[in-house]
Amino acid sequence: MITVTKAVSPPTEELLTMVAQIAESRFFTNNGMFVRKLEGQLSSTLNLPFVRLCSSGTMALQLAIRGLQLHGKKVFVTPFTYVATLSALLWEGCTPVFVDIDPEDLCLSPEKLRQAATAHPDAKGVLPVHIYGNACDIAAIDAIAQEFDLQVLYDASHAFGCEYNGTSLLGYGDCSVCSLHATKIFHTAEGGCIVSRSSNLNEDISLKRAFGHVDDTHHSLGINGKMSELHAAVGLANLPLYKDEIARRKVLAAQYDSLLTTSSLLCPTMRAGVTPNYAYYPLLLPTEKVLHEATTLMKAKDIYPRRYFYPSLNTLPYLPEEAKVSCPVAESSARRVLCLPLFGDMDPAYVDEISQILLRVS
């Protein structure tokens, strides 16, 4: 069976040695030495000073929303992302205002953001996503945020290992967050990280992720968003592996590229200046019918691509009425986008087989 991705697994010995150390120390959580060590390694790997780990990408988003004081506020968000981007806003009592995406790069459209910011002068923030590890139009978004006084929070969950203009794509906006879930290119089984641009925000988030108090002094409303030592150990064992994983995926992605370029199938356009991480291989099919035909043929061969991301989030049934607006580009893209199987140790013969099926139906 070939699935859309397969989790990277660290050398068992290495992981077990750390697990034994944790068990022996009897210190399983509460900002322990493994969490602090991983934060230090991430900070130096990414060359970013303020990195905080927490229990999930969703928690990272919620802590960042709180840290930026966006809870309960109106926030612009892309409808073309994993549902967790939106649910974090809803859990924090925000009113999401969907801003449609650009048809070529599938990231939040700066033109549409400008229109939305003009129409909603009471909005306080924007939550764009570097979808599939592509960079949003950061310069344009920053300029609009300055003009309309918006906080910028990037969901960089797809962007670990990506660079933009020579620096980590996790280092932009007022704050960026990244999921470290097992399906991501670097992971801690479950986990997330928050990259702040200021040390004040970094400190505030450290406090909030551990109930908001230090000893008996209670500074702010907190939550339990801590990462455990066991999860940090998975991260420490995995961290040396992600560059090699990216390199292997790059070869397979090039194979897909060379087989599919002659067809009517399109990949989203990567922004100039991005060094991608090949976390996904998204393909924009001409119609939803072609997508169904392709997935049916693949399923018959035990191959399971995924519809990332379907449906467009502005069409979810449980949205507040005022959030239900039309986003034609996101809706059309969500119907037609298929992520093809891609992981480091995937047999290249499957790339051929999958490509042949796609060429046959398109």
Ligand X SMILES: *Cc1c(COP(=O)(O)O)cnc(C)c1O
> Would you tell me how many other CB atoms lie within 10 Å of the CB of residue 301?
13
Q: Is 304 in a helix, a strand, or coil?
A: strand
- CA-to-CA distance for 189 and 181, rounded, in angstroms? 5
Q: Is 28 in a helix, a strand, or coil?
A: coil
Closer by beta carbon to ligand X, 82 or else 242: 82
Q: 128 with 236: CB under 8 angstroms?
A: no
Torsions phi, psi of 132, nearest 5? 60, 25
- DSSP one-letter code for 190: S
* Residue among 161, 172, 112 at smallest CA distance from 132: 161
Contacts of 96 (CB under 8 A, 6+ apart): 75, 76, 77, 86, 89, 90, 319, 323
Torsions phi, psi of 123, nearest 5? -70, 150
Contact between 78 and ligand X (CB under 6 A)? no
Instruction: Enumerate residues 306-335 that contact ligand X by CB under 6 A.
Output: none
- CA-to-CA distance for 82 and 80, rounded, in angstroms? 7
* Residue among 324, 335, 314, 339 at smallest CA distance from 86: 314
Q: Which of 102, 155, 163, 245 touches ligand X by CB under 6 A? A: 155
Segment lying near ligand X (by CB under 6 A), choices 101-109, 152-160, 199-207, 227-235:
152-160
Q: Is 286 in a helix, a strand, or coil?
A: coil
Contact between 134 and ligand X (CB under 6 A)? no
Segment lying near ligand X (by CB under 6 A), choices 77-85, 139-147, 216-224, 280-288:
77-85
* Residue among 249, 252, 285 at smallest CA distance from 267: 285
- DSSP one-letter code for 80: S
Contact between 56 and ligand X (CB under 6 A)? yes
* Residue among 104, 8, 58 at smallest CA distance from 346: 8
Contact between 57 and ligand X (CB under 6 A)? yes
Q: Which of 62, 151, 157, 333 touches ligand X by CB under 6 A? A: 157
- The first and second tokens of residue 264, run together, are 């009517």
Segment lying near ligand X (by CB under 6 A), choices 10-18, 138-146, 154-162, 299-307:
154-162
Closer by beta carbon to ligand X, 76 or else 82: 82
Contact between 158 and ligand X (CB under 6 A)? yes
* Nearest-CB residue for ligand X: 57
Instruction: Enumerate residues 181-200 that contact ligand X by CB under 6 A.
Output: 181, 192
Segment lying near ligand X (by CB under 6 A), choices 80-88, 140-148, 260-268, 339-347:
80-88
Contact between 226 and ligand X (CB under 6 A)? no
Considering only CA atoms, give the Rg of the chain. Answer: 20
Taking the complex as a whole, the smallest distance from the CB of residue 84 to ligand X amounts, in Å, to 4
Contacts of 168 (CB under 8 A, 6+ apart): 46, 47, 48, 162
Taking the complex as a whole, the smallest distance from the CB of residue 226 to ligand X amounts, in Å, to 14
Q: Which of 50, 76, 80, 82 touches ligand X by CB under 6 A? A: 82
Contact between 280 and ligand X (CB under 6 A)? no
Contact between 58 and ligand X (CB under 6 A)? yes
Q: Which of 179, 188, 196, 333 touches ligand X by CB under 6 A? A: 179
Taking the complex as a whole, the smallest distance from the CB of residue 131 to ligand X amounts, in Å, to 7
Closer by beta carbon to ligand X, 100 or else 155: 155
Binding site for ligand X (CB under 6 A): 56-58, 81-82, 84-85, 129, 155, 157-158, 179, 181, 192
